């Protein structure tokens, strides 16, 4: 659990720093080309955090990381990231107001509660879905392989 918290919060820290620096300190407009970097930065950070988290878990287990254990570790990291990032954006909404949320696509089309629900829900579900994809791929390469003649059940 410590691994999930540590690496999940690292991803969230990158998101927080990005939002604070780009949107609040530099005051970059929502339609700026700079925002094209954000998805790449966040996904690379998530991949690296899940990779490092699985390596840490593998070391804890003495080098015997199984595929299922790798998936659980990666999903734990993704869950911590999803929850903490949503919490950050809720706090940001309460403190700074709807300025950031209004820059979301379709923000002008409905009531604020609906825009917020879709934005936070999309962030949460998207983080978990991508976390599952990244965890599966990384666990495939890091997990211990069983010999062909093994009777061990996975």
The pLDDT tens digits for 15-48 are 999 988 988 888 887 778 888 898 899 999 999 9
Is the pLDDT score of 110 beyond 70? yes
Tell me the mean pLDDT in the region 69-87: 96
Is the pLDDT score of 152 beyond 80? no
Does 103 or 129 have the greater pLDDT score? 129
How far is Cα 92 from Cα 86, in angstroms, rounded to an integer? Answer: 10
Single pTM value for the model:
0.88
23-27, 35-39, 98-102, 133-137: segment of lowest average pLDDT: 98-102
How far is Cα 85 from Cα 88, in angstroms, rounded to an integer? Answer: 5
Q: How confident is the model at residue 146 (pLDDT cuts 50, 70, 90)?
A: low
**What are the backbone dihedrals phi and psi of residue 12, each rounded to the nearest 5 degrees, phi first?**
-60, -40
Percent of the chain at pLDDT > 70 equals 90
From residue 41, how far is each of 34, 51, 152 by CA, in Å?
A: 11, 15, 40
For the stretch 77-90, what's the b/e string if a residue is b when 16 or more beta carbons lie within 10 angstroms of its beta carbon?
Answer: bbbbbbebbbebbe
The pair of three-digit structure tokens given for residue 81, joined into one six-digit string = 């990231």
């Amino acid at each position: 659990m410590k691994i999930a918290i540590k690496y999940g919060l690292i991803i969230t820290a990158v998101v927080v720093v990005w939002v604070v620096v780009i949107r609040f300190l530099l005051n970059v407009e929502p339609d700026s080309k700079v925002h094209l970097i954000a998805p790449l930065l966040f996904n690379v950070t998530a991949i690296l955090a899940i990779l490092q988290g699985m390596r840490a878990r593998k070391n804890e287990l003495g080098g015997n990381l199984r595929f299922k254990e790798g998936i659980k570790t990666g999903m734990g990291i993704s869950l911590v990231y999803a929850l903490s990032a949503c919490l950050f954006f809720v706090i940001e909404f309460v403190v700074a107001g709807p300025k950031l949320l209004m820059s979301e696509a379709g923000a002008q089309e409905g009531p604020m509660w609906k825009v917020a629900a879709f934005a936070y829900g999309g962030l949460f579900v998207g983080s978990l879905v991508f976390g599952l994809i990244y965890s599966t791929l990384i666990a495939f390469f890091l997990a211990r392989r069983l010999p062909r003649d093994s009777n061990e059940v996975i």
